[in-house]
Amino acid sequence: MINLKKIQDADLEGKKVLLRLDLDTPVEEGEIIDDSRLESSLETLNLLLTKAQKIIIIGHLGRPEGKDEKFSLKPIAEWFSKHFETELKEINVGDFDAFEIGDKIILLENLRFYKEEEDPSTSSGQEFSKKLSSLADIYVNDAFAVSHRPHASIVGIPKFIPSFAGLRLQKEVEELSKILENPDRPLTIIIGGAKIETKLPLVEKMHFFADYVLVGGEIAEHVRELAKVAHDKLENKKSILLVADLTSDNEDISEVSIQNFIQVINNSKTIVWNGPMGEFEKGFDKGTKEIAKAVANSNAYTIVGGGETIEFCKKEGLLDKFSFVSTGGGAMLEFLSGSKLPGLEAISV
């Protein structure tokens, strides 16, 4: 297992702490739809509040192109303000717009408003990392879900100030390492949704690791084409690949595929699921609902991850039935595929 530098070993007393959180939550018309990721940050935040002089939270929301009020972190700042029963003020911290939450917490505005955040290898990106790190004495990464991204707030800051893993990030690595190192088998990986450029390479990697790989959602047709092209290559891998057939409107997986998937789920001892089976936001939710129920009610050790998947399971009242809920989607799959995550490498011994 990767050897992280842990927040428990940091000298936090009276220090200013730069805390990278995963703030990328679904927001519609200024209202947060699912606050699971924010809730997961509270254990680390509460620890810091007992010791640190000041906590400066940094993070992002969505994929804005430059400054765009639609992607402002103000709803996130309001959530923290209500949780800690403090007033919210809009302020500036150096060159950054920010929100002051009570006496000890500051939240910087969306880091992706700055193009330098996503390219720390350039001279301007390095300067951006240095500017962020100058705001604090210590850096803590508690954002597992973006630790597969080589961004300034993930890999740049640790080059300038002492850096540590937060409690939630440690928990993610601990739980996922159990699956990676010694899972109860059969092990089934379920991959759905879109994000084809991210997930497609991971499907093939999972063949080395899982006993079954079940693929649904928009990615299914692309995986089917991949399987045709690389039939011999995939045939020699460890796992059995099942790619769902889609309904005639291509918005969900077919009833036959649902039943085939459920049969595998019922025979599994470990299940990892990321990505919906269809366009559930448009009402095409049968496949996702049936798979969610089957996984949640199975006797297996179950892990669910990814924003959309967690949002759906929470809405259906199933989230507490999973053994572990990962804040990561792509990061979770990357970790389980054996890839080294840049964010974890940056805070390792």
pLDDT digits (tens, 9 = 90+) for 279-333: 988 999 999 999 999 999 999 999 999 888 998 999 999 999 999 999 988 899 8
Number of domains in the chain: 2
Q: Would you say residue 347 lies in a domain?
A: no
* Judgement on whether residues 118 and 43 belong to the same structural domain of the protein: yes
Report pLDDT digits (tens) over 84-123.
999 999 999 988 999 999 999 999 999 999 999 998 889 9
Residue in the structure block whose two tokens are 């500051």: 106
Q: Would you say residue 291 lies in a domain?
A: yes
* Judgement on whether residues 192 and 324 belong to the same structural domain of the protein: yes
* Judgement on whether residues 254 and 142 belong to the same structural domain of the protein: no
Other CB atoms within a 10 A radius of the CB of residue 92 amount to 9
d(CA 22, CA 299): 30
Give 206's pLDDT tier (boundaries 50, 70, 90): confident
Task: Among 131, 153, 168, identify where a domain stops.
Answer: 168
* Judgement on whether residues 18 and 157 belong to the same structural domain of the protein: yes
Which residues are within 8 A (CB) of 198 and not within 5 positions of it... i.e. 6 or more apart?
330
Mean model confidence pLDDT for the chain: 91
140 is in which domain, residue-wise? Answer: 7-168
Give 221's pLDDT tier (boundaries 50, 70, 90): confident
**Mean pLDDT (whole number) for 156-171:** 97
Question: How far from 273 is each of 247, 309, 310, 313, CA to CA, in Å?
Answer: 21, 8, 10, 11
Task: Among 145, 168, 191, identify where a domain stops.
Answer: 168
Residue 339 has what pLDDT?
Answer: 87
Task: Among 122, 146, 168, identify where a domain stops.
Answer: 168
Report pLDDT digits (tens) over 36-75.
899 999 999 999 999 999 999 999 999 998 899 999 999 9
CATH number, domain at 190?
3.40.50.1260
Beta pairing, strands 105-108 & 96-101: antiparallel
Per DSSP, helices labelled H in the chain are 36-40, 42-51, 74-83, 123-133, 167-181, 196-206, 219-229, 231-235, 255-266, 286-296, 307-315, 330-336, 342-345
* Judgement on whether residues 150 and 14 belong to the same structural domain of the protein: yes
Is residue 231 pLDDT above 80, yes or no? no
